[in-house]
Structure 1
Amino acid sequence: MEDTLLIVEDQFIEANNLKIILLKADYHVLPIARSVDDALAIIDRQVPDLVLLDIFLKGERTGIDLAHILKARGIAFVYLSANSDKSVFTAAKMTGPYGFLIKPFRERDVLAMLDIAWYHHSQKVMVKDNEAKPKKTSNNPVRDRELKKIVGESGAIQALLKNVETVADTNVPVLLLGESGTGKELIAKFIHELSERRSGKLIVVDCAAMPPHLVESELFGHEKGSFTGATEKRIGKFEQADGGTVFLDEIGELPLDLQVKFLRVLQEMEIEPIGGKRKKVNIRILAATNRNLEEEMANGRFRMDLYYRLNIFPINLPALRDRKSDIMPLAVYFLEMNAAKFGKNITGFSDEVRQTLTHYDWPGNVRELENLIIRAILLCHGNQIGEVQVPGPSVTGETSKGLRVKTMTESERDHILAALRQCNWKIYGPGGAAELLAINGSTLKSRMKKLGI
């Protein structure tokens, strides 16, 4: 290999052990630096392809200080750390490393992380090159149609759309992050329609909705007779999407054993159906989650190598409460889209309703707003919506005897929302709302959709 690496580590034994691993793998290793000043002096003489960087070094400056300099110079870096302090990890993560190597170093882990770092770097270069290309000015009717579904003029939405247009016309995996109901599937469809794969299929897979024992068969397919009950051959989702895009919603729900197989799809573009032979596929991967994947990694529920393969171009979808200027445009959009569908001639909202909508926090985000507007349309008997039912005590329903009694549906909805807030909007797994409510995770998600959460 021609790749040149720089180790910045103040502990001699650890630095030397790491150097031995790298030399054995045919990397060119520059002299070891033990401080920020040492590292900068070496870099001035020869720029490395990648820096392996400890967080705590000799001298007053830390590895995080050096990381900011490396980032400004366009030099890739991976952190070396034995420190598990959350605040330190958060500060390090903000510098944009290509990964973390945890001490003590194992040869397998070192080489795997370097492989991820090179992949990460090549994909980011692809995105950067695409961003520099002059944008096509020709009309794209599909793009214009999909764009109309993304309503809002807030800064958060405009930044989101800019990121989408930057990455759409590449094959780089995209990780969509955000709370439930923020529109991750809509953005995935938009990315697909803007890409060169728009003529191919977009296959949407809800990882949370599939029974664990069927996930592998659904994704990878199986041959006839490969297991009890396999009476016919099944083509998996990855193969169905050949030439197109796969959108894996709730990727955090993918079982650990299947994360290994999925990693091979990302690395090699290769699948292995149950009972079948390996075969190549030509697909682009989009994934989404409302989980904190870093916490899932720390708890051993999500593979670190898979996380860094997916997290090349993360796109954060803002919560509706963080873009309140978009609430009324969205409400008008949902009104116009649904009023005619239900045979209603409704022209707008009363001032009181507008105030209610803009002051509510929308824990269920855009999906909750859409469902609420549909209910309001069905209950409206005039040409203006004059009342909406948002969770919480009803002001208009007060009587001389106290507050209006909630319906069973309203009570169930409020109860689920309270559980979700208590669990920090985690639905599945230990400490999740499903566990707190003592129900199956898929059942809870189904109830949430029905109740507009």
Structure 2
Amino acid sequence: MAPSSLTTSSWPHQELNQLPPDTIFFGHSEHMKALQSRIEKIAALDMPVLIEGESGTGKDILARMLHQRSPWMSGVFVKLRCSNIPESFDDFLESYAEAVKGIPRATLSSAHSGCHGTLFLDEISETSASLQAKLLRLLQEGRLCSVNLKRCKLNLRLICGTTCALESAAERGDFRRDLLYRINVLTLRVPPLRERTADIPDLTAHFLSFFSNAYAGEAKRPSQEMMHFLLNYSWPGNIRELENLLRRYVLFGCEEAVCQELLGRASEQNTKQLSSPGAVSLKELTKKAVRELEREAILKVLHANKWNRRRAACALNISYRALLYKLKDVGMAAAAPGKADWQAGVQQTR
């Protein structure tokens, strides 16, 4: 199997074979705190786990955290991308064995824990019908998670990741329901970044510190208006999108480019939503379009006036109170985040 099918992550720490700190990955939101509590409860259970979440939310990080909290944490962690598994049954078995045997010999110690580990099947929803049948057969025969090696018999706990709702896929006939029942014993859902915006300041501080060290530079502390843009963007690419944006910011140090890029992406998202097919309410469509246009106009004027709301209200030819109301109506904070918020985020990453 090609090396590219075995590892990679939406977090830069994987480049150094590290995991992000729990305080950064889980943050402060209720969704993530509940997820952290559930992980602690199931980490030691030798049962299949299904991790659901949008692309870029950190499903592979979560799989590794489960592995590191398990009794077999000193064993191997094998990640296979389902889209790269060959259709041939024999080729699959051969490539899977090579993936396991390709792990350094020191990792497969003679100790009991060294003969256990974790198998992470990434994007299980991308498997074809024929490969789903083969995976089901392997699971039923106990051959997928048990590999005979020269030094020992390697037993692996199965974790699957998916960006697709497998229950819906099963209802459409795109995913075998009997395979779903096999892999969906325990389920974890990783929320998208738009559902945990309170964690964005800490994530931003952490990524800037990480990339500043990685590139031997020092990133300029983001201004209040840049932080406001980061907090009000919807992040369809989730943490991976935030990470890549901040990587570019550390490399080039252009805050103006960051704000303009986020404005442009928000406008593109609105256009796609308005042009999507299907039955729509013209009244709701018009209301949403006006709301988004107002939001974009207010952001541009605030940006041009260095986030001074009174000057922005004059430029928009509305009262100061009307501007505050519109800021609230379009889902923007009445005041930009202060320096204390940013400094607190920086302190927590040290």
Contact 2:229 2:262 in 1 (8 A): no
Return the offset for 1:143: 11
- Structure-2 residue corresponding to 1:195: 70
- Structure-1 residue corresponding to 2:290: none
Shift of the 313–270 alpha-carbon distance from structure 1 to 2, 3 Å rule, reads: same
- Structure-2 residue corresponding to 1:183: 58
Give matches, 1:311-390, under 5 Å: 311-380=184-253, 385=255, 388-389=258-259
1:157 equivalenced with 2:19 (yes/no): no
Which structure has more helix as a fraction of its residues?
A: 2
Partner amino acid, structure 2, of 1:191: L
Return the offset for 1:270: 1.6
C-alpha distance in structure 1 between counterparts of 2:260 and 2:47, whole Å: 40
**Structure 1 residues 353-406: Cα deviation after superposition (integer angstroms, max 9, x where no partner):** 00000000000000000000001111117xxx5651565645xxxxxxxxxxxx
Return the offset for 1:147: 2.6
Unaligned runs of 5+ in 2: 1-16, 104-114, 147-152, 278-350
C-alpha RMSD of the superposition: 3.6
Return the offset for 1:422: 5.2
Which of the residues 298, 316, 334 maps onto 2:171?
Answer: 298
Return the offset for 1:268: 3.7
Percent identity of the aligned residues?
A: 33
* Partner secondary structure for residue 155 of structure 2: coil
Return the offset for 1:304: 0.8
Contact 1:217 1:236 in 2 (8 A): no
Partner amino acid, structure 1, of 2:249: A
C-alpha distance in structure 2 between counterparts of 1:221 and 1:309, whole Å: 23
Q: TM-score scaled by structure 1?
A: 0.48
Return the offset for 1:316: 0.6
Return the offset for 1:309: 1.4
C-alpha distance in structure 1 between counterparts of 2:163 and 2:144, whole Å: 26
Give matches, 1:14-413, under 5 Å: 147=22, 150-208=25-83, 210=84, 212-213=86-87, 216=89, 219-221=92-94, 235-237=97-99, 243-271=116-144, 282-380=155-253, 385=255, 388-389=258-259, 391=261, 393=263
* Partner secondary structure for residue 73 of structure 2: coil
Larger RCO, structure (CA 8 Å, separation 6 or more):
2
C-alpha distance in structure 2 between counterparts of 1:368 and 1:175, whole Å: 24
Shift of the 422–165 alpha-carbon distance from structure 1 to 2, 3 Å rule, reads: farther
Shift of the 254–157 alpha-carbon distance from structure 1 to 2, 3 Å rule, reads: same
Partner amino acid, structure 1, of 2:22: L
Return the offset for 1:179: 0.6
* Partner secondary structure for residue 172 of structure 1: coil
Contact 1:143 1:193 in 2 (8 A): no
Contact 2:86 2:92 in 1 (8 A): no
C-alpha distance in structure 2 between counterparts of 1:247 and 1:321, whole Å: 26
Partner amino acid, structure 2, of 1:180: S
Return the offset for 1:311: 1.3
Partner amino acid, structure 1, of 2:213: A
Contact 1:392 1:414 in 2 (8 A): no
**Structure 1 residues 25-82: Cα deviation after superposition (integer angstroms, max 9, x where no partner):** xxxxxxxxxxxxxxxxxxxxxxxxxxxxxxxxxxxxxxxxxxxxxxxxxxxxxxxxxx
C-alpha distance in structure 2 between counterparts of 1:372 and 1:332, whole Å: 13
Return the offset for 1:239: 7.0
* Partner secondary structure for residue 50 of structure 2: strand
Shift of the 358–164 alpha-carbon distance from structure 1 to 2, 3 Å rule, reads: same
Contact 1:147 1:190 in 2 (8 A): no
Shift of the 143–387 alpha-carbon distance from structure 1 to 2, 3 Å rule, reads: closer
Higher mean C-alpha deviation, range 242-251 or range 313-322: 242-251
Aligned residues: 244
C-alpha distance in structure 2 between counterparts of 1:308 and 1:156, whole Å: 25
* Partner secondary structure for residue 119 of structure 2: strand
Contact 2:200 2:231 in 1 (8 A): yes
Return the offset for 1:263: 2.0
Shift of the 362–338 alpha-carbon distance from structure 1 to 2, 3 Å rule, reads: same
Unaligned runs of 5+ in 1: 1-141, 223-233, 274-279, 395-409, 424-453
* Partner secondary structure for residue 198 of structure 1: coil
C-alpha distance in structure 2 between counterparts of 1:212 and 1:218, whole Å: 6
Contact 1:220 1:239 in 2 (8 A): no
* Partner secondary structure for residue 227 of structure 2: helix
* Partner secondary structure for residue 79 of structure 2: strand
C-alpha distance in structure 2 between counterparts of 1:315 and 1:372, whole Å: 27
Shift of the 255–236 alpha-carbon distance from structure 1 to 2, 3 Å rule, reads: farther
Q: TM-score scaled by structure 2?
A: 0.61
C-alpha distance in structure 2 between counterparts of 1:145 and 1:264, whole Å: 36
| Higher alpha-carbon Rg | 1
